[in-house]
Amino acid sequence: MDSPPLYRQLATHYLDAIRAGSLKPGDKLPSLRRLMRQHDISLSTALQLCRAMESEGWVEARERSGYFVRRPRRLSIAAMDEPAADRAPDPAQYVGIHAKVSDFVARRRQIPEKLNLSIARGAPELYPAEALRSAMTRMLRQHPGMLAVAAPLKGHRQFREVLAQRSLRVGMTISPEDILVTNGCIEALNLALRAVAQPGDTVAVESPTFYGLLQVLESLGMRALEIPTSPQTGISIEALELAIRTYDNIKAVAVVPHLQNPLGSVMPDAHKARLAQLCEQHAIPLIEDDTYSELIDAQMPPRALKSWDASGNVIHCASLHKILAPGLRLGWIAAGRWQARVEMLKFAQTRHNEGLSQGAAGLFMATGAYDRHLRHLRNCLKTQREQTADAIAGYFPAGTRINLPPGGLQLWVELPERLSSSRVFDAALAERIVVAPGTLFSNSSRFDHYMRINCGWPYGETVDAGLRRLGQIVETLSRGAGKAHTARPSPTPAWSPEARRLQSSSASAA
């Protein structure tokens, strides 16, 4: 593979300095003459370097002064609107998501993908595969006969002990006996729902929500009642209270309190306390999907919803799928007052999980290497998330809006002119770029003009080129969508391509 041209290599060097904070907004880049001397390059290469960074929105040219670092483009995008919470939600529906997801998967598989922005996990190189392989080897040396015997129904003892110990960090006090190991978080959610509800029952969910949860509800014959959810603070407690007063048959509430999928919202502690209290007051089981909390940009993860559980009313579900090893499919559930029923359902449905992966994960998680891995993963994802957000801000047309979550693997993108994300999906798929259209995340069509973009891939030429092309597709399609609207056009943001073309394209060699 050919190396990028010299000016691009130097531009990457200065972009790394900007991302690391060595060059801050308002700082001046070296003059053209200094760049020539410092890097032994021609005037032409120095100009290419500066103009490339300017065209991408990282620096701005000031007449007779030089080039200066700009504010990140992503900070210029308007925040998403908060959902209305003063009207009762639509009646609960039998979820009709299977057909949508099946069509999405089938069409995606028909075309060899060049860039998959639809998933919600990190690149393989972000996970400690070699360390886990070594842990498995150690486990087999210590227990050479473990592959010939069945693991305990609840799961490998050492693995459950590590999970119980780490639960103290998020405010939970549970014993290894309170934990049941599952095949990922999806099985944990499945067991939780089957434990507390029956076919035909209504379950309140966030809106939008993870389509996997909607699939589980549909497979169980349950109705989904979609509750408005804030991009910042998660499910609306006021809207849920109104729903509970309006409908008397809500059998459970299922939420992702930390880095909600797809919004990326993080529920404040005060909201978590109110939610736990509200569900306790009305005797409605509260199911917590805590898959993403270790990906929040903080030294310590936030308190779990279950830390406010005084009576066993909160069912805590979690997984290592996003944070340690997508290939292991290791999840778990602490089901409170429904623990015995969940264990019976697990036995009837799938029996025990295999023990080798649990033992190896437990060995690794008991060392300091696990927390070092999590810090590295969070740092990498933060950089990739910011790079992706800046690319969307630079390449997508005016009127595009995105969330800026404090961690995680994805961005939720609102398209301009209420452009259908299904149309964007079709056009992008034809060019072997895959996105997750917003229609997957709700049983209604209210999120058709949104899409979820993955930030798990290291940002490089392939990702940058894919996002640039995606922005061109959105711009082309939104022009047609805009003709159907008579609304007054929004002012051109500073980060838009139109504004950038109006900027000065050169600066003096100060």
**Does residue 478 sit within a domain?**
yes
Position 146 confidence tier, pLDDT thresholds 50, 70, 90: very high
pLDDT tens digit sequence for 9-39: 898 899 888 877 788 888 999 999 999 999 9
How high does pLDDT run on average in the chain? 90
The answer on 100 and 69 residing in a single domain is no
Answer yes or no: is pLDDT of 311 > 90: yes
Domain that holds residue 415: 96-123+374-484
The predicted pLDDT at position 20 comes to 74
**Does residue 130 sit within a domain?**
no
The predicted pLDDT at position 200 comes to 94
Answer yes or no: is pLDDT of 488 > 60: no
The answer on 106 and 48 residing in a single domain is no
Task: Please name which of 209, 222, 288, 278 lies closest in space to residue 254, comparing C-alpha atoms.
Answer: 288
The answer on 457 and 385 residing in a single domain is yes
The answer on 48 and 104 residing in a single domain is no
Cα-based distances in Å from 413 to 181, 380, 471: 34, 21, 12
- 257 contacts 223 by C-beta, under 8 angstroms: no
The answer on 116 and 26 residing in a single domain is no
The answer on 23 and 115 residing in a single domain is no
How many domains does the chain contain in total?
A: 2
Separation CA 441–CA 438 (nearest Å): 6
The answer on 114 and 58 residing in a single domain is no
The predicted pLDDT at position 171 comes to 97
pLDDT mean over 168-187: 97
**Does residue 499 sit within a domain?**
no
More confident call, 13 vs 507: 13
The predicted pLDDT at position 503 comes to 34
The predicted pLDDT at position 91 comes to 78
**Does residue 418 sit within a domain?**
yes
pLDDT tens digit sequence for 390-426: 999 989 999 999 988 999 999 999 999 999 999 999 9
The predicted pLDDT at position 90 comes to 77
The answer on 456 and 405 residing in a single domain is yes
The answer on 476 and 380 residing in a single domain is yes
In the chain, pLDDT over 70 holds for what percent of residues?
93
Amino acid found at 130? E
Task: Please name which of 327, 332, 371, 354 lies closest in space to residue 139, comparing C-alpha atoms.
Answer: 354
pLDDT tens digit sequence for 71-114: 777 777 777 888 887 777 777 777 678 888 888 988 888 888 89
The answer on 103 and 44 residing in a single domain is no
**Does residue 433 sit within a domain?**
yes
- 241 contacts 89 by C-beta, under 8 angstroms: no
Tokens 């860039």 correspond to 115
pLDDT mean over 162-186: 97
The answer on 119 and 67 residing in a single domain is no
**Does residue 494 sit within a domain?**
no
pLDDT tens digit sequence for 358-374: 999 999 999 999 999 99
pLDDT tens digit sequence for 201-238: 999 999 999 999 999 999 999 999 999 999 999 999 99
Answer yes or no: is pLDDT of 493 > 80: no
The answer on 425 and 395 residing in a single domain is yes
**Does residue 129 sit within a domain?**
no
CATH classification of the domain holding 26: 1.10.10.10
User: Of 43, 74, 105, which closes a domain?
Assistant: 74
**Does residue 101 sit within a domain?**
yes
pLDDT mean over 28-55: 91
